[in-house]
Structure 1
């Protein structure tokens, strides 16, 4: 599959208008920022930023954050288990829950 290319002209003060297709891929809209990283081989990577990189926005979804809150509440309430090793942990995870068969 061929790469999709876009062009934008740089204006006097280094400004440019990002084509709509680029804004969509980066997940940015007016007011968002961009992060540029230059690799050792000279390739420039561009990431859209909100409060975090746009490609990591899944962590900020309400569903994910609700799970984080639930996990924090479980830890605070002592609803945790400790295992001596990986085998013991997996045995616990794959065993039927108490009261279920």
Structure 2
């Protein structure tokens, strides 16, 4: 089963699910897909998601610090704590003032 990776910047990243039995047979190919194709593979057993094979360059996304920031950002959006800007220059200027 293939699906677009939810909430994972930047697109296009692909997520695929592979059983652990199949992964044993195709491990080298799954690693190559991760490294060269930016494919994230979710390993499953009996329909349960167990683990992921991801490119090392994407590992930052799964750190506790980043997951905490992502959860806070989702809360901010849900609560309406957002701003809009007329231009990218205005947005960057605003970011600079927050430092």
Higher helix proportion: 2
> Radius of gyration: which is bigger?
1
- Per the normalisation by structure 1, the TM-score is 0.45
Of structures 1 and 2, the one scoring higher in RCO (CA 8 A, sep 6+) is: 2
Higher strand proportion: 2
